[in-house]
Amino acid sequence: MTVASTAAGETDHACPPQAPASLRERKKLATRHELRRVTLRLVAERGFSNVTVEEIAEAANVSPRTFFNYFPSKEAALFGADPALAAATREAIVCQQPGEPVLTVLRSVMTTQARRVADDFAELGGDPVEWLGRMRSARTDPHLHAVHGAQIAALERSLAEAIAQRLGADVERDPYPGLLAAMATGVFRSSMSFWAAAAGGTVPLDRVVDLAFAAIAGGLPENSDLRHVMATVTGTNVADRKDNL
């Protein structure tokens, strides 16, 4: 990988081109979605502690060995932990839009990931907000709450390391990458909560994330566009969607 200095004090990393998904990759993604769908359904019906990997695999018509090819645990299946997505996010932060401020890159990358997250929920079938509601309900379990917290901490650390790599910084000596990473994960969490509960899924998740980053870039003004994101959504539609959660 070629690295060259930029005027902004960052490093310029060349991104390799992404090949389109093959038929095999699309089939693997379909299996992954089915395992998540079954996990969310069974946990919602029985409670997390009353569901086994073997039961999930049987309901998805695969073997337990196949389950573990996709997820290391039922917790990972429930929350949709995807190491490939985390790696792609890190790579995008490091090498996309060379020369642009890192906050601009974060806005672009996290908005794209928000679109992907919403699409993943849609791929489960039915109302994506309903699936998200099931996942959030499961987090009331103390064990799952702790697991989810650990996942967020790992994500934040990964983002901080990617930001530091882009800036040519050291996360142990420069607090800026960690601050931006904490901000990015906070934006995503708050946007997801708003999207599922307040907006009822009527406003695209990526739009909420994009406007949140725009508000931060503008110094968090009280009259930011983020505060008016619901302006084009009728109260009736929001209420109807919330009733379905």
Over the stretch 5-23, which tens digit does the pLDDT of each residue have?
343 455 556 566 555 667 7
Residue 115 phi, psi dihedral angles, 5° rounding = -65, -40
Q: Where are the domains of the chain?
A: 18-74, 82-245
Instruction: Give pLDDT, residue 42.
Output: 93
DSSP 16: P
Q: How far is CA 67 from CA 22, 129, 187, in A?
A: 21, 25, 32
Q: How far is CA 176 from CA 96, 154, 160, 220, in A?
A: 19, 17, 9, 18
Cβ-based neighbour number of residue 112 at 10 Å: 17
Instruction: Give pLDDT, residue 2.
Output: 33
Is CATH 1.10.357 what the domain over 82-245 is classified as, yes or no? yes
Instruction: Give pLDDT, residue 237.
Output: 47
Q: Tell me the β-bridge partners of 3.
A: 13
Give the fold, CATH level 3, of 18-74. Answer: Arc Repressor Mutant, subunit A (1.10.10)
Instruction: Give pLDDT, residue 239.
Output: 45
Q: Give 101-134 as a DSSP string.
A: -HHHHHHHHHHHHHHHHHHHHHHTSS-HHHHHHH
Instruction: Give pLDDT, residue 120.
Output: 83
| Calpha distance 64→137 (Å, rounded) | 25
Residue 204, amino acid: P
Q: Give the pLDDT mean for 19-48.
A: 85
> CA quadruple 191, 193, 199, 201: dihedral positive or negative?
positive
Instruction: Give pLDDT, residue 62.
Output: 96
pLDDT digits (tens, 9 = 90+) for 156-189: 999 999 999 999 999 999 999 999 999 999 999 9
Confidence of residue 128 (pLDDT cuts 50, 70, 90): confident
Whether 233 shows a pLDDT value over 90: the answer reads no
pLDDT digits (tens, 9 = 90+) for 42-99: 998 898 999 999 999 999 999 999 999 999 999 999 888 777 788 889 999 999 999 9
Q: Tell me the β-bridge partners of 12.
A: 4
Instruction: Give pLDDT, residue 199.
Output: 59
CA nearest neighbour of 48 among 82, 78, 80: 78
